[in-house]
A and B are shown apart, each in its own frame.
Chain A
Amino acid sequence: MGTNALLDPSLYIPDLAVDERDAALRGMVERLHTHGTVRDPAAVLRLLIQREALGSTAIGKGVAVPHARSLAVASAHLVFARSPRGIDWAAPDGEPVRLVFLLLAPDTAPWHKRYLDLLAELVSVVRLARNRNRLLEAGSFEPLASVLRDLS
């Protein structure tokens, strides 16, 4: 499955107007709930916060990639949000997070393994400065989707 199937214009949040990590996660999960992807938003939010307790999903350079598999997720999807103000995400370099990619997948085949592969591909894309700049500067969904569509 390519990233095309994971992307949806309605799952793009260009201006995430919150300062805290948990509020950002809540807003993104609610968006997926409205989209019909998440059946039990409270359970998924709790799981994401438990995942953060194991170690921040911020990877530095202003990027966070929260992720989880759950039975409460109907299909794999990616929510992309930008925070012009930046969010404190306990990043290893201390930088506030301005780009957030929330990857949620169902706990069913083939996602048991595919999920980690896709996460690795996503991280490799956003580690490149030129891709981060394109994502920060994109004025609409289409140009930013083109950055992510290279994922296989």
Chain B
Amino acid sequence: MRLHDLDMLLRDTRDAAAQAALKKMGFKVSGVEQLEQARAELVAQVDRRWILLYDRVFKRYGRAVAPVKDRVCLGCFATLPTSALPPPADSDAVSVCQSCSRILYWIG
């Protein structure tokens, strides 16, 4: 989830339209290198196999993580099987949508 949020922030800093809009509002945006460094440090803390999955799905859809609400993946809107459960909070495991392969973030 943290990696996803960071990547979306990075995307905004690289998006010309978003940058123009933020500049027009009066926000100065620079120092992307610092954000990239924070991303690299975060990636180093995550199991390599999840990073490979994350990168693969990110390339495919532009977003690797999808929220789950009422057992529906909000990435592809498939209903998850009853066997799909959120991973324990204290584990490094992730759950994946069997339909679209996005990493799932359970919100309700």
Q: Do A and B come from one complex?
A: yes
B residues within 8 A CB of A46? 2
Instruction: Check if A74 sits within 8 Å of B108, measured CB to CB.
Output: yes
A47 to B3, CA, bound (A): 10
A residues within 8 A CB of B5? 43, 47, 68-72, 107
Instruction: Check if B9 sits within 8 Å of A68, measured CB to CB.
Output: yes
Q: Taking the complex as formed, is A92 at the interface, i.e. its CB lies under 8 A from any CB of chain B?
A: yes
Q: Taking the complex as formed, is B35 at the interface, i.e. its CB lies under 8 A from any CB of chain A?
A: yes
Contact with A along B1-44 (1 / 0, CB 8 A): 11011101100010000100110111111111011001000000
Contact-residue bracket for chain B:
20 to 34
Q: Taking the complex as formed, is A62 at the interface, i.e. its CB lies under 8 A from any CB of chain B?
A: no
Contact-residue bracket for chain A:
20 to 34
| Contacts across chains A and B counted by CB atoms under 8 Å | 75
Q: Interface of A with B (CB < 8 Å)? A: 39-40, 43, 46-47, 50-51, 53-57, 59-60, 65, 68-72, 74, 92, 106-108, 116, 119-120, 123, 127
Q: Interface of B with A (CB < 8 Å)? A: 1-2, 4-6, 8-9, 13, 18, 21-22, 24-32, 34-35, 38, 63, 65, 67, 74, 105, 107-108
A-B residue pairs, 10 tightest by C-beta: A55-B28, A59-B26, A123-B25, A70-B5, A55-B29, A54-B29, A71-B1, A71-B105, A47-B5, A116-B21
